[in-house]
Amino acid sequence: MSEVRVNNLSNENSSGGPTFSGITTFSGTHFFVPPSGDTASRPQSCPSGSLRFNTDSAKLEYYRGDTIGWSDIEAELVEPLGGGTGSNAGLGHRGFAFGGHEGPNGSNTYTAEIDFFTISTLGDATKFGDLNNARGNGIAGFASRTRGIGAGGYAPHQNIIEFITMSSTGDATDFGDLTSNREGPMGCSDSTRGIVAAGWSRPNSANIREIDYVTIASAADSLDFGDLISPTNYGCGTSSTTRGLLLGGYTNPNPQTSYYTNRIEYITIATLGNGTDFGDVNATNTNLMSAASNATRSLIWGGGGDGSNMINIIDFVTIATTGNATDFGDMLAATQGGGAMSSPTRCVYYSGNGGASNVIEFVEIATTGNAVDFGDAATGSHGKYTFANFSNGHGGL
C-alpha cells in the first residue's frame, strides 16, 4: 500500500493547505500519470496549460485557452522537412497538391500526380509521387502532422480514400472508402480526425449533405458524423484545433449563378453532429473556392462558376467567432479550383484554373494585403486544379 507523507504543505499566503479536486493520480517518485480520455471527452474551459493524455492519438495534449482549445504536445523533428530542389531546398512545413485536373483551362484530363513545396521558402514545387487512381473534380484534403489524405473525386473512383506520409516522397496508399461516392466534397481536420463533407453523388446526379469522418492514424472506411444545413458541392473546408469550417459551393449540379451559396457552416470536430450557421463569405461565385488557416484565422481564396465569372478575392474570418467574412486583399489573377495550404504564419495558393494557372502565390496570415508570387507549379506551364490540398502545418494541429 502506498504512503503519502506531508510535513509542510500550504498555500501561497500560508492561510491553509491546498485543495485537491477531481481525480488526480500520482505514481512513483520520477513521473506522474495525467488524466486520460478520448478526443470526444476533452473537457472545455480548463485553465490554460492543463494536461491530459488523448487515448485516440496516443499523445499528451495541453489546453491553450478557450479560443484555441486542446493541442498535441509534439516533439520537433531534429531536422525540419526539406532537402529537395526548388522550394524544397529550404526547410519547414510542406504543402501538397494531390491529384486533380491537369492541362489547359477547361481540360478534362485527370492526373495522378502529387506535388509538394516548402511553405516557409520561395521557389518552384516538385513532384512527390502518384495516386493509385488519377482523379479530380474536387477531392477533399486534410492532414495530421505526419499523414496527408485525399478523399473522393471523380474519374471514376469517387469513394476512394488514399494517404501519404508527408515526411518522405512516394506514391499514395489505400486508406479505405467513403460512405458514398462523392464528387466535389469539402475536407478539414484536427490532428486526430479528418472530415469529408457533402459533395455530388454519381450516378444519382444529386447533391448530398452527409458529413463523414475518419481517424487519420487508422486506415479504415469513413463513418457518419452528421449533416450540413443544406446539400452542397464544390465548397471548401478549413479548421482550427477545435472547429471545422465548411464554406460556399453550389446547391445544384449545374454551375448556374442562382444556385451558389455563400453560407459558412461550422462543426466541432471532436464531437458528432450537424453543421451550424457561422456567417457568409463576401463572394457570390462561391464554388471552387479554397481555404486554409492557422489556429486563429482562415483565409478564403478565389472561386467562380463555369470559368467565365472567376474572382480574385481573398477573404478572412476569425474561426473562434461567428460572423461574415472580411476582405483581406486580392489574388494575382481571378482563379478557381486551386488549393490553399498554410503554415502557422503563411498561406499559399497553388495553381488553379484561370490567369497564369501555373502560379503559386502567398500572403502572411497575420496581415492583410494582396498576394505575392511564390514560384511555379510542378506540372509545368498549364498547372492543375480541383485537387486535394493540405499541409503538415495547418491550424487544426
| pLDDT tens string 145-191 | 999 999 999 988 789 999 999 999 999 999 999 999 999 999 999 99
Of 99-103, 116-120, 258-262, 293-297, the least confident: 258-262
Sign of the Cα pseudo-torsion (261, 267, 273, 277, in order):
negative
The pLDDT tens digits for 19-45 are: 555 545 555 566 678 889 888 888 888
* CATH classification code of 86-391: 2.120.10.80
The beta strand positions in 119-159, using DSSP E, are 126-130, 140-143, 147-151
- All three cell numbers of 21: 479536486
As given in the structure block, the three cell numbers for residue 17 are 493547505
The CA–CA distances, whole Å, from 179 to 51, 210, 224 equal 35, 9, 8
Give 248-312 as a DSSP string. --BSSSS--GGGB--EEEEEETTS----EEEEE-S-S--TT-EEEE-SSEEEEE---SSSSS---
What nine digits make up the cell of 288?
Answer: 471552387
Model confidence, pTM: 0.82
**How many degrees, rounded to 5, is the angle at CA 149 between CA 145 and CA 151?**
155
Judged by average pLDDT, the poorest of 61-75, 215-229, 339-353 is 61-75
Residues 118, 87 contacting (CB under 8 angstroms): yes
CB atoms under 10 Å from CB of 105, counted, come to 17
Does the CA dihedral 7-10-13-14 come out positive or negative? negative
pLDDT: which is higher, 134 or 356: 134
State the pLDDT at residue 78. Answer: 41
User: For residues 334 and 354, is the Cβ–Cβ distance under 8 A?
Assistant: yes
Query: Rounded CA gap, 364 and 377, in Å?
Result: 20
Q: Is the dihedral of CA 21, 23, 28, 31 positive or negative?
A: negative
Residue 373's φ and ψ, nearest 5 degrees, are -65, 135
Contacts 24+ apart (CB under 8 A), 208-215: 208/180, 208/182, 208/233, 210/179, 210/180, 211/267, 211/274, 211/275, 212/151, 212/178, 212/179, 213/272, 214/149, 214/151, 214/161, 214/175, 214/176, 215/56
For residue 255, the tally of other CB atoms under 10 A from its CB is: 19
Rounded to 5°, angle at Cα 247 from 70 and 233? 125
Lowest mean pLDDT among 81-85, 87-91, 265-269, 311-315: 81-85
Place of cell 478575392: 313
Cell of 232: 452542397
Asked if the model's pLDDT at residue 386 lies above 80, the reply is yes
* Euclidean distance between CA atoms 176 and 219, whole angstroms: 6
User: What is the average pLDDT score of the chain?
Assistant: 87
The closest alpha carbon to 189, from 232, 243, 228, 236, belongs to 243
pLDDT: which is higher, 382 or 54:
54
Q: Give the residue with greater pLDDT, 261 vs 32.
A: 261
**Domain extents for the chain?**
1-75, 86-391
Give the span between the Cα atoms of 101 and 371, in whole angstroms.
24
CB 139 within 8 A of CB 114: no
Strand partners, 327: 315
State the first-to-last Cα distance of the chain, in angstroms, to the nearest integer.
41
Q: State how far Cα 66 lies from the chain centre.
A: 20
User: What does the pLDDT read at residue 129?
Assistant: 96
- Between 205 and 349, the higher pLDDT residue: 349
Sheet holding 263-268, edge to edge: 236-239, 243-247, 263-268, 276-280
Nearest to 240 by CA among 46, 69, 396: 396
C-beta of residue 62 within 8 angstroms of C-beta of residue 69 = no
